[in-house]
Each structure stands twice: as C-alpha cells, then as structure tokens.
Amino acid sequence: MSLRSHGGEKTSLRAILDQIDGDILVHVFSRTTRKQLREEFERACTRERYPHITLTSVGMSTYPVSIYASISDNALEGIEGLPRFLISDPKKQFLDAMGFVRPSSTSKASATRMRRQGPLRCGFFIVRKDKTLFAKETGTLENVYEAIIRAEKKLHKGWISDLKRMGRPVPPW
C-alpha cells in the first residue's frame, strides 16, 4: 500500500497499529480543495458530542486520511486538536480496498456528482487493538458523525462493563 505519513515517509496500517497500544479511528476526508477539506475537517473535530463520552477516553487514536497529501498538509495548519498523523493515499489502493473510492461510471449524472463530491466517499472506520474491524460507515457527513457517536457509546459501554467486572479502574491502554 502507498500510505504516507505527514512527514512523507511510507507507512502501512499494520505499522500504525504496531506503534500504538489502543484502537484507532480513521477518518476519510473526501474533499478536493483546501477550503473544502478544512471545512470538512473542522466539522469533524467540533461536532456536538456527549461531554463524558469521547474516543480518547477509551484509549483511541485518530488518524485523518486523504488522497491529497499537499492539500492536507497546507490546509490543516493552525487547527486545534489536530491528530498525530495525517495520512495520504495518492494512489487510492488502501482506500479502494476499504470501499471508500467511488466507482467510475459513464453516466452524465454520475460524472457531475463525481466532480462535485470528489472521487472519495466521506467516512470512517475503527480498527481494534486485535486488528479486527469494529465499525465502518460511509455517506453524508451527518450520517458519518451519527455512526461515530454510536461507536463511541458502544466502546464506552464495553469499557465501563470491563471496569465493573475488574472492580477497579483499569485504563484501556
């Protein structure tokens, strides 16, 4: 796979999973211009949430992915709460395997939609520590954020039940 980290080094999902101890959330950003990418990223970071349930509270790391490395490097400067890595996939091999690349079509309406919305579907997926896929969603930003909230609640409930079973506070990492 041709994933590259924010520093330009080649990386893979396996390498990222080996670096961290917990689960990871991967956001896929679909926009093609700096302004669109920045707006989409800010909406993802500042959305309404339950204040006591966050993915970082259950030991999750967040990684945004885009196929546009130069755009994502320049567009997201100065945004607070920026995750550790910006991953780019210019050849779309990884994102195509995960189902985020829009299929090309010969219809005029589909070509117009592709120009307006970009070649990628907006979405996210969560990979657990044991390298299994926990949740995945593509679609509109609103649907993606609702799915992230559902995944947060499910992960948080699992963490609380582990806490009750162990009888003492055990951090997820």
**Cβ neighbours, 10 Å, residue 17:** 18
**Annotated domain spans of the chain:** 3-166
Mind spelling out the 3-state secondary structure of 130-159?
A: CCCEEEEEECCHHHHHHHHHHHHHHHHHHH
Identify the band that residue 84 occupies on the pLDDT scale cut at 50, 70 and 90. Answer: very low
The number of beta carbons lying within 10 Å of the beta carbon of residue 42 is 14
pTM value > 0.75? no
When pLDDT is cut at 50, 70 and 90, the band that residue 50 belongs to is very low
Name 156's Cβ contacts closer than 8 Å, sequence gap at least 6: 53, 57, 58
Write phi, then psi, for 56 (nearest 5 degrees).
Answer: -70, -25
User: Superfamily assignment of 3-166 in CATH?
Assistant: Glutaredoxin (3.40.30.10)
- pLDDT tens, 19-41? 767 777 776 766 656 666 666 66
18 band by pLDDT with thresholds 50, 70 and 90: confident
